[in-house]
Structure 1
Amino acid sequence: MTTVHGSSYRFIWFGLEMVSLFIHFTCLLPLLIGTPVTRAFMPRLNGATFLGPSNALSPVNVAHSRNRGIFCMRSNEMITVEGVSVVLLAGGVGKRMKADRPKQFIELLGKPVLLHSLEIFSTLPGVNRIVIVLDKSYRQEFSFLQEEDPRIVFADPGKERQDSVFNGFSQTLPDASVVCIHDSARPLVSQSAVLASLRDGSVHGAAVLGVPMKATVKESADGEFVLRTMNRSRLWEIQTPQVIKPDILSEAFALVTEKGLEVTDDVSMVEQVGRPVKLTMGEYTNIKLTTPEDIGVAEGFLRERAEGKL
């Protein structure tokens, strides 16, 4: 039988005390020098703190570089997204809103919807051009935007969505790395979701925000009887922004024009030329303002976001 003497107990106790002191010192040191514990030991690059790689279903982790590019962490890879041209669509009429003005000019918490959407992109580093597709009759009201931000230019809306996108695309910078197309009627998209779509678009050539469909969807041939129930597990509700590399977008427009095709969203054109489109996980709060009820919902989301609840 082995006997542990008192001196051995004292030695073990002393060792445990040293370990405890080391742990306390390690945790207190960042506080003493003014650095939060959770960031004290994170790797740094160009003065930016990296939060680690993102998974496939979460927004991208991001840090801003000194040259105003965007560093994105994806699967332990660092991706730099610079030279982003944004096309902000604000030329719609919005008949279903039943308002005295187009929905992009309705105020949310005292600020027009268009300005809420513009703010999301104007504060992102790496954005070199913002094209607002806006009817000429409203430009005087928003002319101050160009005075405040030289990156902003205007383009005319077209007859169909794809025509408006083409007009906006024509005003983007020739050396743009990606074109980020967004509906101004979606003022609730978060910057983290935008950055995730920029990351995926820069890697795969085309990306679109979307969320898995929650509702059961049924198909009907005549609008009166159910034809079949769709497999919900394979259905996604598509949102914006939709991010496409300029050369792919040019190729897509050429094909759509040649064949006289009509598409309801931007990446549908990319699908027509046989290019892959990456699904980027979006957010269910990224609603499109369509009916009067949506205004109250959007203001509720904005209040919760301002209070840090969302």
Structure 2
Amino acid sequence: MDASPTTPRRVGVLLAGGVGARVGLDRPKQLVELHGRTILEHSLRGLHDHDLIDEVVVVMAPGHLDVARSVAAAYDKVTAVLPGGSTRTQSTLAALAHLGEADCHVLFHDAARPLLPRRVVTDCLTALGTYAAVATAVPSTDTLLEVGPERTLRSVPPRDSLQRAQTPQGFHAEVLRRAYEVAAGDPGFVATDDCSVVHRYLPDVPVAVVAGDERTLKVTTKLDLVLVEALMRLDEEG
């Protein structure tokens, strides 16, 4: 479904710039094959096959662009495969630079999360009709501890107010560009995700939080590979 004249273009950005050192493999984790496809392709399909997404941009780890382009060739909504940076921030900025000054709604999704429910994409895009920034999260089922530098307990935050961040994260592109422009003037700037940049540097912009999904696991360790493949098998069985 193409964006109407009154609806900004909807772009999915697949962030695949990491190398996945903690998985302990000889290649980026997004190129590991699970259930007949690479993790990269599973994640790409989650964005590409959604009828509200008009375009997909893949940001891939340098040195592996040819593989990513080969995978993306089968997906007609993919308009670019870009080299990522050494940090998530650099990869996000590469995607924003590619998109230029166009007014669009953009979803950033980690390629390391290959199980992306359609409902989550729909909810993020719907929320962007009201909010300029959208996070995805699930409630924390464990009690979380804040630990001091000497591995001693500092505090126990109340669990009911805490949620675990996932992706996608969605934005009006011009708002995220502005947040990074402000952040560039901060010599102590460090970010692990894009919503935190908007929250910190554009405090007047509310960030909506939509419900994620427990199945949208991030592949970080070898155990995660086993869990995600088991979930894929369950999906196939029905």
Per the alignment, do residues 225 and 148 of structure 1 end up closer, same or farther by CA in structure 2, a change over 3 Å counting? closer
When the two structures are superposed, what TM-score results if normalisation uses the length of structure 1? 0.71
Is the CA contact (8 Å cut-off) linking 1:129 and 1:173 kept in structure 2? no
Displacement, 1:263?
A: 0.8
Aligned to 1:54: none
Mark the structure with the bigger radius of gyration.
1
Identity of aligned pairs, percent? 28
Number of aligned residue pairs: give it: 233
Is the CA contact (8 Å cut-off) linking 2:12 and 2:56 kept in structure 1? yes
Aligned to 2:171: 244
Is the CA contact (8 Å cut-off) linking 1:85 and 1:173 kept in structure 2? no
Q: Root-mean-square deviation (CA), in Å? A: 1.9
Aligned to 1:267: 195
Is the CA contact (8 Å cut-off) linking 1:81 and 1:126 kept in structure 2? no
CA distance in 2, matches of 1:286, 1:193: 10
Displacement, 1:82?
A: 5.5
Answer with 130-139 or 241-250: which moved more: 130-139
Confirm whether residue 217 of structure 1 aligns to residue 144 of structure 2.
yes
Aligned to 1:100: 26
Displacement, 1:304?
A: 1.5
Aligned to 1:123: 49
Q: Give 2:195's aligned amino acid.
A: V
CA distance in 2, matches of 1:151, 1:68: 14
1:19-78 per-residue CA deviation (whole Å, 9 max, x = no partner) reads: xxxxxxxxxxxxxxxxxxxxxxxxxxxxxxxxxxxxxxxxxxxxxxxx5459xxxxxxxx
Q: Give 1:281's aligned amino acid.
A: A
Unaligned runs of 5+ in 1: 1-66, 71-79
1:109-154 per-residue CA deviation (whole Å, 9 max, x = no partner) reads: 1210000000111112232321111134212223332465263302
The structure 1 residue matched to 2:104, chosen from 141, 154, 177, is: 177
Per the alignment, do residues 278 and 155 of structure 1 end up closer, same or farther by CA in structure 2, a change over 3 Å counting? same
The structure 2 residue matched to 1:301, chosen from 222, 231, 234, is: 231
Q: Give 2:124's aligned amino acid.
A: S
Per the alignment, do residues 224 and 150 of structure 1 end up closer, same or farther by CA in structure 2, a change over 3 Å counting? closer
CA distance in 2, matches of 1:300, 1:176: 40
Aligned to 1:284: 214
Aligned to 2:85: 158
1:191-221 per-residue CA deviation (whole Å, 9 max, x = no partner) reads: 1111111111231111111001111111121
